[in-house]
Amino acid sequence: MPATSDASLEEAERLMTICNACRYCEGLCAVFPAMELRRTFDKGDLNYLANLCHSCGACYYDCQFSPPHEFKVNVPKTLAEVRSNSYQRYAWPGFLSGLFARNGLVIATAAALSVAGFIAGFIAYNDPTILFGTHTGPGAFYKLMPHDAMVMLFGGVFLYAILAMVMGLRTFWCNIGEPRSTLTETRSLWQAMKDAGRLSYLDGGGVGCMNEDEEPTDTRRTYHHLTFYGFMLCFAATSIATLYHYLLGREAPYPWYDLPVVLGTIGGIGLLIGPMGLLKAKMNRDEALRDEPRAGMEVAFLAMLFFTSLTGLALLFLRETPAMGLLLALHLGVVFALFLTLPYGKFVHGLYRFAALVRYAKERKEA
């Protein structure tokens, strides 16, 4: 059973009090310098520190008080528990967060298959020759599903995800006790963007990340980069395609050399390799560092990213064949499930981490 939110916070407070007296790890990441600015730790502080932590594991292996020492200091695992609990604590609406945390992969898979089945069934019911036909040229996708219906379905779930994430971020920001004015400080924002873009603190103080053993490597950071930048490229590809549609009157699918396809292909390759690498790293992770019981939503998120990319690339390569109809339905189903689960899993960690980095940049400037 995962430790309750209060138990994790109590343990985090105990560890931060020990670490604040020790301070041996202050050069490893942002967590320890931020901790040193405090003498006591309320819940907001602990959630802030937990979301600064990248779980690189360095402070566990470096610690003279880690098990079997009686102090049993395990900062990465405890902060991972607090962090995972923070996804639920700040999620909006709250009643959905527990449901997704317990059954993330099942709900995401069921949502993907249900939407794909509904789309494919609806097309086949109206005219099976359209579902299994070969469609080419501009507007080929919309012979299966009208553009306006696609926009309503996916625009709706996308806007819901944005609203839920903004509400969650707002609660996080209030809970850590940071005023809104911090968000207008350009220097702090810029520093946070640089730290987030480089994943500055996922290197165990410069040597790399400890994952399966005490040998540090940079592979987790590489897979994170592939996932993050792959996602951003796919998002850019979709945004440009939307502009093409509404501003230039150009309908998808586009030729292979066109910007949305080039960006989507490069991003898609990143989203195949990155999530696979992160899943592998998760499975190989030293048991002492694992936050096993809460892995459901993280696995669901990585799986949805991977399958969004896989079905998207399959659709690209087979779009002029009779497989296009089923592949389009499957791709749309996975994208729907991805959007639906975004506010309740690992994705929000990126938002909370960025907010925590903004606060850290401000505190560093003022210190």
- Of 313, 15, 4, 336, the C-alpha closest to 149 is 336
Nearer to ligand SF4, 54 or 319 (CB): 54
C-alpha pair distances (Å), 161 with each of 46, 113, 152, 156: 26, 19, 14, 9
Near ligand SF4 in 162-221, by CB under 6 A: 201
- Of 350, 274, 293, the C-alpha closest to 87 is 350
- Piece of the chain touching ligand SF4 by CB under 6 A; list 4-12, 63-71, 157-165, 295-303: 63-71
Please report whether residue 73 would count as binding ligand SF4 according to CB under 6 A.
yes
CB atoms within 10 A of CB 127: 12
Nearer to ligand SF4, 19 or 303 (CB): 19
338: number of CA atoms within 13 Å, CB side? 19
Nearer to ligand SF4, 331 or 353 (CB): 353
Near ligand SF4 in 239-258, by CB under 6 A: none
C-alpha pair distances (Å), 282 with each of 135, 159, 220: 41, 31, 9
Q: Tell me the residue type at 214.
A: E
Min separation Cβ 57 and ligand SF4, Å: 5
Q: Which of 75, 199, 252, 303 binds ligand SF4 (CB under 6 A)?
A: 75
Min separation Cβ 220 and ligand SF4, Å: 11
Please report whether residue 63 would count as binding ligand SF4 according to CB under 6 A.
yes
Any residues with CB less than 8 A from the CB of 246 and at least 6 apart, and which? none
Q: Are residues 188 and 367 in contact, defined by beta-carbon separation less than 8 angstroms?
A: no
CB atoms within 10 A of CB 137: 9
CA pair distance 194, 191, nearest whole angstrom: 5
* # residues contacting ligand SF4 (CB under 6 A): 25
Min separation Cβ 64 and ligand SF4, Å: 6
C-alpha pair distances (Å), 326 with each of 123, 264, 311, 316: 10, 20, 10, 13
Total length of the chain: 367
Please report whether residue 357 would count as binding ligand SF4 according to CB under 6 A.
no
- Piece of the chain touching ligand SF4 by CB under 6 A; list 48-56, 131-139, 225-233, 348-356: 48-56
Q: Which of 3, 11, 43, 57 binds ligand SF4 (CB under 6 A)?
A: 57
Q: Are residues 253 and 321 in contact, defined by beta-carbon separation less than 8 angstroms?
A: no
Nearer to ligand SF4, 28 or 340 (CB): 28
- Piece of the chain touching ligand SF4 by CB under 6 A; list 61-69, 98-106, 328-336, 338-346: 61-69
The site string for ligand SF4 over 5-44 (x = CB under 6 A, - otherwise) reads -------------xx--xxxx--xx-x-------------
Q: Tell me which residues touch ligand SF4 (CB under 6 A).
A: 18-19, 22-25, 28-29, 31, 53-59, 62-65, 73, 75-76, 79, 201
